[in-house]
Amino acid sequence: MTAPTPQIPLIDLNDGRAIPQLGFGTYQVPPADTEKVVTAALEAGYRHFDTAQMYGNEDGVGRAIAASGVPREELWLTTKLNNSFHERSAALEATERSLEALGGRIDLYLVHWPLAMHDDVARVWEVMEEVRSDHPVDSIGVSNFTPANLARLSEAGLSTPTVNQIESNPYFVNDAVRAACADRGIAVEAWSPLAQGAVFDDPQLTALSEQVDRSVSQVVLRWVLQRGDIVFPKSSNPERMRQNLELFDFELTDEQMASISALHNGTRSGPDPDTFDWRG
Ligand SMILES: NC(=O)C1=CN([C@@H]2O[C@H](COP(=O)(O)OP(=O)(O)OC[C@H]3O[C@@H](n4cnc5c(N)ncnc54)[C@H](OP(=O)(O)O)[C@@H]3O)[C@@H](O)[C@H]2O)C=CC1
Ligand SMILES: O=C(O)C(=O)[C@@H](O)[C@H](O)C(=O)CO
């Protein structure tokens, strides 16, 4: 039995398409559990899923979707080109594998990490443009791109990515990169919005959650939405999946928003894009 999907706002992309602002993340969902977890998320009402070649769980996402009976046009599927596949022929092969796993169509395909310490980001972006022209890949974007990486694409005369998926949470607001994206008309997707669980130990967020009578998770996710970013929390727990969808019947005041942003202390939950070059 599938729950009615809540009214989730759409964010306009610079290629004329529109993406649901709230979805479901699948990092650290083990491949063996993914079909079950994504099935539970579909039942909770999620229709937008974020996966990646790096996560090794695209097959499970695809199986859950195929078994769900949810019409494909009601879904949004994002996946990401892995770090070891930036070179053209490897990228084309990896894209074919992702398409096969995900049922033949990708809504949004991202360059997962820039690897700018080794490669010219313009080269992988040219490959992404080719993929979009020649494959059932509707929109292309980037992830973990710095302002310098974005500038390199425009200097090379290439198209503007639709989105930049970057770390953003109360401890690492990432506002300089968000501003660079806004200047270029690039939508921001906020990864690890809950700082991979660190927000739950925060006394100030606990106090605010008691004040507004919402969970800490709901308060933080609402903060992300009111900042205008796209977000896809991960949970393997059906009750928490449902809770993370219930974000559209309350609002944070400007003062409450500012108090969350003031928690920024520069602590990342994940790697720094200027140095991360893992190639699995
Ligand atoms: N492009 C990139 O480089 C990256 C992209 N991402 C994307 O962003 C998504 C979200 O980020 P992610 O790193 O997964 O971390 P999140 O910030 O979404 O936090 C996930 C953690 O929070 C817990 N949690 C979730 N909801 C609740 C709740 N309501 N109450 C209590 N605990 C909760 C989960 O535990 P439990 O499962 O037990 O509920 C899990 O431990 C990823 O899944 C992935 O899709 C993430 C990192 C990097
Ligand atoms: O989740 C992702 O999309 C990531 O790229 C990160 O998890 C990254 O691979 C990492 O944190 C490795 O430790």
Residue 47 counted as domain residue: yes
Residue 128 counted as domain residue: yes
Residue 134: count of CB within 10 angstroms of its CB: 10
- As annotated, the binding site for substrate includes 112
CB of 139 within 8 A of CB of 17?
yes
The residue segments making up the domain with residue 40 are: 10-195+228-235
C-alpha 260 – ligand 2 centre gap (Å): 24
Q: Say yes or no to pLDDT of 2 above 70.
A: no
Look up the CATH number of the domain holding residue 125: 3.20.20.100
Q: pLDDT tens, 127-177?
A: 999 999 999 999 999 999 999 999 999 999 999 999 999 999 999 999 999
pTM attached to this predicted model: 0.98
Residue 214 counted as domain residue: no
Q: pLDDT tens, 209-264?
A: 999 999 999 999 999 999 999 999 999 999 999 999 999 999 999 999 999 999 99
Q: Whose CA is nearest to atom 1 of ligand 2?
A: 27
Pocket test for ligand 2, best of 29, 54, 109 (most atoms within 8 A of CB): 54
CB of 108 within 8 A of CB of 138?
yes
Number of structural domains, the chain?
Answer: 1
Residue 126 counted as domain residue: yes
- As annotated, the binding site includes 112
Give the CA angle between residues 72, 75, 78 to the nearest 5°.
115
Residue 277 counted as domain residue: no
pLDDT of residue 4: 57
Residue 207 counted as domain residue: no
Pocket test for ligand 1, best of 19, 21, 26, 27 (most atoms within 8 A of CB): 27
C-alpha 152 – ligand 1 centre gap (Å): 30
Q: Which residues line ligand 1 (CB under 6 A)?
A: 25-28, 50, 112, 143-144, 165, 191-197, 200, 215, 217, 232-237, 240, 243-244, 270
Residue 276 counted as domain residue: no
C-alpha 28 – ligand 1 centre gap (Å): 8
User: What mean pLDDT value characterizes the chain?
Assistant: 97
Residue 152 counted as domain residue: yes
57: region left, alpha or beta (phi > 0 left; psi from -120 to 50 alpha): alpha
